[in-house]
């Protein structure tokens, strides 16, 4: 009993760190955690659709034992989060908070590598606090920062009227500006937590991975990080390179639907977050995977990602980039809502929206429905290849002309998850987001828990998290007992494949995902 009491007492041990805003008091429980730290002023009222402003300060030490509010978002029914109904609006505009996790041994003199996490969620949902980075911090001796950034229309609305009031004449990338503000907070403050501000790895998944690509391409992010990890990043995916000029007409129609003339910013800034989030965006390109996302040829993103990477006009740091073998299986319910099976007609229709009517016949010839057990599996496979795997090869090929790139694939045929697979799929496999509990080694609500791992999956988790952490610490990913990784070579398309039976280099990735076909088709 005494041992249990001692552990409970230790779990509540306060830890104080001084920041440039004032002292913060976190808790020691397996690792040190400092939660809900504001890195910018609340973006409310007249600060809605403005770049993030200076964060508040305080005199008395601030309690950092609880996370801050998540940014306004609509709960997605696919992920079962306790106490939140699908379609429910949650969060608060006062949401620009970050969380810091450090090893219990960290001191202000430790100079540990720093990892800054950008969450996914299609730029419309998610939060930094959904990810407990305590195991990463304690197990690998790194400081980990997770953060919120503005989402949806609040984070990515661009309008001519907003362009006119902006100092640089552009608008729309407020969520990315938030990320940069958090990175600057890290530069000013992370040394006090034991981190090295000159050794920062920016890492993210899905929209967070695409955000990493955007920060690579943003001149304003230069020097804010020294390495980058892109997981399932969508960086070259079809329909995502939306320019400011392309977004403007659509967004004007959106503003009109809010009963505010698009030029009436005072009116727009009074619209409730609930109405902003529940109003649909008219005229969205059907093949686009993201309703709200970064806009290019605008301010902090002067070039599209493809142009920036091809021309070498990006922040040149080593990159670790990966995808999951079965990414597309998570998105099958989009084709068949309410749990209905995907039929052949829906398969054809979804394929046409993705690839365009002119390419439909060629794509169906590559993925004939008779070759798969169900139309749902056929669509999931082509979606994986077209949207994730083959664009990732193109990203690696472009970046590798200028910086070291290391490529990997997460391939657990029955990845542990709490998400229920549609009846017309043979399981979710290694679907989109399935590697996150493996990498963080902590439960993620709505996705799953390491408690679900088999012994082989636990080893896979150790290998994946170690590869990420060693890359953050050394610039070269490695796994104990495994040969040294080779850099990605476009001629070989060499990818490290993580499976429950081990880690092995493969040069079959492009053939497995039909990348020669998709590269030739070039949907962008």
DSSP letters of 56-83? P--SSPEE-SS--PPPSEEPPTTS--TT
| CA dist list (Å): 488 to 245, 278, 505 | 35, 43, 11
Rounded CA-CA distance 249/362 in Å is 32
Residue 110: which residues within 8 A CB-CB, separation 6 or more? 103, 194, 195
293 is catalytic: no
Rounded CA-CA distance 391/369 in Å is 23
Closest CA to 110 of 149, 85, 138, 148: 138
Burial 96-123 (b: 16+ CB within 10 A, else e): bbbbbbbbeebeeebbbbbbbbbbbbbb
The three-state DSSP-derived secondary structure of 288-335 is: CCCCCCCCECECCECCCHHHHHHCCCCCCCCEEEEEECCHHHHHHHHH
Taking every pair of Cα atoms in the chain, the longest distance, rounded to a whole number of angstroms, is 72
Closest CA to 87 of 260, 337, 442, 336: 337
Residue in 93, 327, 409, 466 annotated catalytic: 327
Rounded CA-CA distance 517/146 in Å is 38
Rounded CA-CA distance 185/173 in Å is 19
119 is catalytic: no
For residue 387, the 8-state DSSP code is I
Q: Output the six-digit token pair for 349.
A: 């229709």
Q: How many CB atoms lie within 10 A of CB 241?
A: 21
For residue 252, the 8-state DSSP code is H
Residue in 432, 433, 461, 478 annotated catalytic: 432
445 is catalytic: no
Q: Output the six-digit token pair for 338.
A: 């309410």
Q: How many CB atoms lie within 10 A of CB 148?
A: 28
Residue in 33, 127, 206, 293 annotated catalytic: 206
List, by residue number, the catalytic residues.
206, 327, 432
């Amino acid at each position: 009993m005494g041992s249990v009491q001692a552990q409970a007492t230790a779990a509540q041990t306060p830890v104080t760190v001084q920041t440039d805003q004032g002292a913060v008091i976190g808790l020691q429980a397996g690792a040190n955690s400092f939660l809900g730290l504001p890195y910018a002023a609340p973006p409310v009222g007249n600060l809605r659709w403005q770049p993030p402003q200076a964060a508040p300060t305080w005199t008395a030490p601030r309690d950092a034992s609880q996370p801050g509010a998540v940014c306004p978002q609509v709960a997605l029914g696919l992920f079962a989060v306790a106490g939140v109904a699908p379609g429910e609006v949650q969060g608060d505009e006062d949401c620009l908070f970050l969380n810091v996790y450090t090893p219990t041994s960290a001191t202000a003199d430790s100079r540990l590598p720093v990892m800054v996490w950008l969450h996914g969620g299609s730029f419309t949902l998610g939060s930094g606090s959904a990810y407990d980075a305590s195991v990463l911090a304690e197990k690998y001796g790194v400081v980990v920062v997770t953060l919120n950034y503005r989402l949806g229309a609040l984070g990515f609305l661009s309008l001519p009227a907003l362009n006119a009031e902006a100092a640089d004449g552009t608008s729309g990338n407020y969520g990315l500006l938030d990320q940069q503000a958090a990175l600057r907070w890290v530069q000013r403050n992370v040394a006090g937590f034991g981190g090295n501000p000159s050794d920062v790895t920016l890492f993210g998944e899905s929209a967070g991975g695409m955000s990493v690509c955007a920060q690579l391409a943003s001149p304003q992010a230069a020097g804010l990080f020294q390495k980058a990890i892109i997981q399932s990043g969508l960086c070259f995916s079809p329909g995502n390179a939306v320019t400011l000029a392309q977004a403007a007409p659509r967004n004007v129609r959106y503003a009109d639907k809010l009963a505010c003339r698009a030029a009436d910013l005072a009116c727009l800034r009074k619209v409730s977050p609930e109405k902003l989030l529940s109003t649909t965006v008219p005229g969205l390109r059907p093949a686009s995977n993201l309703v709200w996302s970064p806009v290019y040829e605008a301010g902090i993103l002067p070039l599209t990602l493809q142009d920036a990477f091809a021309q070498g006009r990006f922040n040149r740091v080593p990159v670790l980039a990966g995808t999951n073998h079965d990414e597309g299986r998570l998105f099958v319910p989009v084709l068949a809502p309410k749990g209905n099976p995907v039929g052949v007609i829906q398969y054809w229709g979804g394929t046409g929206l993705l690839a365009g009517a002119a390419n439909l016949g060629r794509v169906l010839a590559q993925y004939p429905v008779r070759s798969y057990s169900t139309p749902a599996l056929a669509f999931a496979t082509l979606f994986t290849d077209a949207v994730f795997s083959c664009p990732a090869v193109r990203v690696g090929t472009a970046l590798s002309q200028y910086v070291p790139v290391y490529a990997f694939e997460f391939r657990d045929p029955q990845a542990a998850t709490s998400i229920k697979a549609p009846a017309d799929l043979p399981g979710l496999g290694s679907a989109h987001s399935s590697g996150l509990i493996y990498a963080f080694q902590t439960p993620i609500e709505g996705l799953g828990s390491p408690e679900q791992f088999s012994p082989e999956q636990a080893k896979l988790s150790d290998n994946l998290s170690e590869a990420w952490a060693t890359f953050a610490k050394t610039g070269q990913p490695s796994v104990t007992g495994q040969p040294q990784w080779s850099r990605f070579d476009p001629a070989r398309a060499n990818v490290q494949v993580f499976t429950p039976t081990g880690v092995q280099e493969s040069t079959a990735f492009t053939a497995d995902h039909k990348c020669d076909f998709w590269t030739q088709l070039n949907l962008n």
